[in-house]
Structure 1
């Protein structure tokens, strides 16, 4: 099991790759973010996007998918996770297009023991998603809760 006490500032986790299709972009947008530039090239051509791009929320969901897949490969990591308190400084830096292949890096930037909940600690990370050209497409700082080692 990966306990809070084992997490240190500077710890890194890489995850991905994951390639996104036109169909996935349109399906997500149709359900959750049905702005025209996420649904068709024609509509996107009338905006600064120029062509179909994934919703930022879809890109954020793809981060979660890749991160959980990476966590499941490391014994105890997913079991230690107790969810998240939120995300600070979420930024969508570049459009994600059909056929883009994403990968990510998460680096621990802060840890703090919980005063009110001794069974958990708080971990803040800096996450960056990159496309296949190594251009950052998303950055954010998730604030997660991790189990402490039982007494």
Structure 2
């Protein structure tokens, strides 16, 4: 299992995820169409060329958010997450365009014991995505319910 248990995390711990992703036109158009978003900023190249400061289509920010969090899963929560509890402070300081490549880092911001589940704790992650130029293009705080290491695995590893 790739994910990390709640009791193995430390506040301030930083994950620099090795998985990177170049965003294609198909990614953006399919996601935008699947989510019924008719915004011309994502679908109409001519409109963007003539009527926006960017001169080209922007990557859908909801796709950017999902991709940023998705890239983090393999290193942080794969197999150890119980539930995603929420996303806060979602920001997109710079746009992404077709052909941009993103990399992601995740910081553990807070840890707290679950009051209702003795086998889990609540983790707050800060995710940050950067384009190939090193510009911050997205960030968010994400809270999740994370499993603690099972007692039987602690005994075997001791």
Superposition TM-score tier, normalisation by shorter sequence: 0.7 to 0.9
Asked if the contact 2:114/2:120 (under 8 Å) is kept, the reply is: yes
Deviation at 1:122, TM superposition (A): 0.5
Report the Cα distance in structure 2 between the residues aligned to 1:112 and 1:52, rounded to whole angstroms.
41
Secondary structure of the 1:61 match is helix
What TM-score results when the alignment is normalised by the length of structure 1?
0.88
C-alpha change, 1:26 and 1:111, in structure 2 (3 Å) is same
| Corresponding residue number in structure 1 for 2:96 | 96
Asked if the contact 1:37/1:49 (under 8 Å) is kept, the reply is: no
What TM-score results when the alignment is normalised by the length of structure 2?
0.84
Deviation at 1:5, TM superposition (A): 1.2
More strand by share: 1
Asked if the contact 1:126/1:142 (under 8 Å) is kept, the reply is: yes
Runs of 4+ in 1 over 6 A off after TM superposition: none
Report the Cα distance in structure 2 between the residues aligned to 1:118 and 1:11, rounded to whole angstroms.
23
Report the Cα distance in structure 2 between the residues aligned to 1:62 and 1:136, rounded to whole angstroms.
14
Q: How many residues align?
A: 146
Q: Which runs of 5+ in 2 are unaligned?
A: 152-158
| Corresponding residue number in structure 1 for 2:107 | 107
The structure that has the greater radius of gyration is 2
